[in-house]
C-alpha cells in the first residue's frame, strides 16, 4: 500500500473530523498503527487521551483497597467490590505502593 495524494487527503480529512484511527484504518484498508504513524509524519494534531474513569478514589476506597490487598484478595475482586475496572484498581494499587496480585478469591 502506498500513500497516494488522494489517500493522504482522505486521512487528513477524517483525522480532522475526529474519527478514531481504527475507523480511518478500516476505511482506508490499513492498520490503525499505519494511520497513526502517517498522521504523525504529516504533523497532524495529536489526539487527547480519553479518560475512562475521571472519578477520583475517595479516602475510604483507598482504605478498602489497602485492607483487601492485605487480606490477599486479587485486584479483580477488589475492583468488583468498588465498582471499578480491574485496570483502574491495578493502577491505583501500583501508585499506592501495593502489590496488585494475589489469590483470586470469589
Q: How confident is the model at residue 63 (pLDDT cuts 50, 70, 90)?
A: very high
Statement to judge: residues 91 and 66 lie in one domain: yes
Is residue 79 domain-resident?
yes
Is residue 105 domain-resident?
no
Query: Residue 35 in 3-state DSSP?
Result: helix
Domain extent, residue 88, equals: 59-95
Is residue 53 domain-resident?
no
Is residue 49 domain-resident?
no
Is residue 13 domain-resident?
yes
Statement to judge: residues 34 and 9 lie in one domain: yes
CA 43 – CA 37 distance, rounded (Å): 10
First to last CA, the chain: 50
pLDDT in tens, 82-105: 998 888 899 999 999 998 875 554
What is the domain count for the chain?
A: 2
pLDDT in tens, 10-57: 999 999 988 889 999 999 999 999 999 999 999 999 877 666 657 899
Is residue 48 domain-resident?
no
Amino acid at each position: 500500500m502506498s500513500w497516494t495524494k488522494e489517500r493522504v487527503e482522505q486521512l487528513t480529512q477524517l483525522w480532522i473530523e475526529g474519527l478514531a484511527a481504527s475507523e480511518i484504518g478500516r476505511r482506508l484498508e490499513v492498520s490503525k498503527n499505519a494511520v497513526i504513524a502517517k498522521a504523525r509524519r504529516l504533523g497532524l494534531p495529536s489526539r487527547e487521551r480519553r479518560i475512562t474513569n475521571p472519578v477520583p478514589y475517595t479516602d475510604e476506597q483507598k482504605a478498602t483497597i489497602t485492607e483487601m490487598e492485605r487480606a490477599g484478595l486479587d485486584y479483580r475482586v477488589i475492583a468488583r467490590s468498588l465498582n471499578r475496572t480491574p485496570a483502574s484498581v491495578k493502577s491505583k494499587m501500583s501508585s499506592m505502593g501495593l502489590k496488585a496480585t494475589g489469590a483470586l478469591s470469589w
